[in-house]
Amino acid sequence: MSDRSEKLTRWAAQAEKELKGRTPDSLTWNTLEGIAVKPLYSEEDLQGLEHLGTMPGLAPFVRGPRATMYAGRPWTIRQYAGFSTAEESNAFYRKALAAGQQGVSVAFDLATHRGYDSDHPRVEGDVGKAGVAIDSVEDMKILFDGIPLDKVSVSMTMNGAVIPILANFIVTGEEQGVDRKLLSGTIQNDILKEFMVRNTYIFPPEASMRIVADIIEYTAAEMPKFNSISISGYHMQEAGANLVQELAFTLADGREYVRAAIARGLDVDRFAPRLSFFFAIGMNLFMEAAKLRAARLLWSRVMEEFEPKKPQSFMLRTHCQTSGWSLAEQDPYNNIVRTAYEAMAAVLGGTQSLHTNSFDEAIALPTEFSARIARNTQLILQHETGVTKVVDPLAGSYYVESLTAGLAEKAWALIEEVEAMGGMTKAVIEGLPKRLIEEAATRRQAAIDRGDEVIVGVNKYRLENEDELDILDIDNRAVREAQIARIEKTRRQRDPKKWEETIAALKDVARSGKGNILEAAVEAARARATLGEISDALREAFGDHSAVPKVVRKVYGTAYEGEPEYENLVQRLEDFSKNLGETPKLLVAKLGQDGHDRGAKIIASAFGDIGFDVVAGPLFQTPDEAAELAVRSKVHVVGMSSLAAGHKTLAPQLVEALKAKGADNIIVVVGGVVPRQDYRFLLDHGVAAVFGPGTNVLDAARAVLDLLEGKRRNV
């Protein structure tokens, strides 16, 4: 027996004594990713790991894309923000830059994401609510007023309306006196993940991929300092993906975009160094750090297929953002701690830039107070912890290196599964990633509801009484009126002939397949075509994409098999159904332009397993359309899911629409990101119950059954 083996044997014996007869194996943690995490790692776990012994700045870049990493230059503090109007957002950015922020990251409102001008009737409840409203170059000029675009890099999270937004940005730079060659930053431009999770798409997948390729082509030629795409796993994790899924699907998306650009005739070394990535950082600290290391390892492997000559083409560079999903409404100051740990994980993993969430973002846009704490979290990390002094401090850790290899192995297997289907576009069309992510999300929710996964302050150590937070409340109506006034002014002052010519040229490029769509859109933006007009021109050529909602089954219920609490609820529903003479029917409705559907899908799946007859409504409905579907489907309850702050506009309109159709007997409930301050308003406007963030699904089902039994009704 070797000395190492003898030591492990002695340790196991000692551990068994401390565990009073249980073996150390009983401490193994089986993660959501299917990785068995042992209680102890040793040199034995490093045997055969091929990535060991590599150096930072050198392929395969496991230890970081730059040789000196933070010892030479710290990561960029890039806080993501956007507030109602361009004026307010501009003021916020300027203050943040003066206080130590090192780049601008723009959050757009949902109307903008979906390619609608603020005056469109479908976006009444969405304008300015979850980000800044941008309708034309005039808004974009205000947004960056006093911010030198040749010196400050700008990240823009935009996918659906990526063409008009990037066109407006380029023209804004021009009119600020900055040549497009000097513009630096990133446009997300990652449409494949929109079809999987976030759903802020506009056009069908094939047309959307053409847009991606056109942007890569244009920026490679005209904007050498600008990243043409940020391939995003962030929204996958936020939608419920485990870390293996986030890693695999993100890199598979990246491979698809590279293929699309090469098919366009572009040389790989011309654009690959400007590709960037975007990952979420959750609470599994060491695994998140290992994930970033594994991502760099696997991307280097992916790029070997394309035979680039430049080392930079093999290099994965990434922005990270701490998890929004891990933020809790309950005991919200805990979120400051969560964000700090997640930020540490991102830094230990070697991110190139970082956004830290504010503690109040579980329920609203951040206040100036909470945003300062979030920004200072990074400043403290950079200046007070010593974490910037050493390159890749986790290198050589038995645990982290083993995790890095384990994640890489599992993610590569899933990447190969996607390849066998014909690549990511085909996998997305067939629905594989979406289904796997929704199953993972539902499985995790069941674990939280059961108490198997502890969330401090939510399902354990909960406060008896919660203090109300001061939150940022956006006057949606005032923002919309101001935006409409500016749109009307822009349309009055532009040259109608020039506008008509550029829009016609854009339509021709889109229809014919000849020419570059972004190039044509820049001309249209210069002529003051609005975001909605540019989007409509492309809609005319490509059509709108409309997804058919599908709900996973037998995931939530399976996790609860044999649990008395669950079985009693199922039996209670069965008894009620017999008395009613039918199974109670629930419509899960998504209103407005909010495409985040994790909560809605979990509710639909779990309620279906409990025994409700569930109708999963399509995304982006108006209140009248949802009411029409509810009446046509003969539902007993409408559950409106809200994550983007439109509930005060949309929920009362839904109640009134049902009344107008003679269906005021249908119960309306609201769930999602709803501040407690808004509960009374909703209840006073006909909503029967409100289920805020962190609500146990079984508790929600019991409450809905109470309503059906007549214990409470909407008023």
- Give catalytic residue positions: 80, 234-235, 590, 594, 596
Helix, coil or strand: residue 52: coil
**Could you give the angle at which helices 86-98 and 368-384 cross, rounded to 10 degrees?**
30
d(CA 433, CA 423): 12
d(CA 317, CA 353): 9
CB 585 within 8 A of CB 633: yes
680 contacts: CB under 8 Å, gap ≥ 6: none
Q: Is the dihedral of CA 201, 202, 205, 211 positive or negative?
A: negative
**226-227: strand order across its sheet:** 226-227, 185-187, 154-156, 103-106, 76-81, 353-355, 318-322, 275-281, 229-232
Separation in Å, CA 409 to CA 39, 203, 615: 21, 34, 39
CB 257 within 8 A of CB 215: no
Identity of the residue numbered 321: Q
Place of tokens 């993906």: 241
Tell me: cis bond preceding 60? Omega within 30 of 0 counts: yes
Burial class (CB in 10 A: 0-12, 13-18, 19+), 352: buried
d(CA 596, CA 590): 9
CB 232 within 8 A of CB 250: yes
Q: What's the alpha-carbon Rg for the chain, to the nearest Å?
A: 26
